[in-house]
Structure 1
Amino acid sequence: MSAAIARRIVSSFRTAPDNPLSAREQEILRRLCEGDNYKVIADQLCISGHTVRAHIKNIYKKLHVTSRAEAVRKAINDKLI
């Protein structure tokens, strides 16, 4: 087997990097990407707005971003959602 074929086979078995976000954080990030505001997210998930803000703060920290736009870009580029 050639080295090129072996590399292709090995690369097909590699898994995607682990997602640093919890399931709830992923859900909130997905809703941010859809354009939902904090209140809509809170209402849809039956949690308080303060809880949404806390989750978003944790998302920003884990993704090393400082804004909604950066978080959305990173989520799409890194296939986190």
Structure 2
Amino acid sequence: MDLKRIKDSIHFWYFQYLLVTCCYGLLPWEQCVINSIIFIVVAMVVYTAYVFIPIHIRLAFEFLSQMFGSYNSTASG
């Protein structure tokens, strides 16, 4: 029974995906092209986030630590 519910849930979410992306009325080869483009875009966003977000967080942390570190050292010294 649980396997049927999981299968129905996957079908439901896939149908929702088709409706949201307007792929429901496309031919199968057109759906393949659109799905490939969407997959490539999502993969590029995930890769970019994985590579660049930690760098920006580190730089922001260094900037803020220098800014507040110099503020604390001048106030106490």
Smaller-chain TM-score bracket: 0.3 to 0.5
Q: Give TM-score, length-normalised by structure 2.
A: 0.34
Which structure carries more helix by proportion?
2
> Greater relative contact order: 1 or 2 (C-alpha under 8 angstroms, separation 6 or more)?
1
Q: Give TM-score, length-normalised by structure 1.
A: 0.32
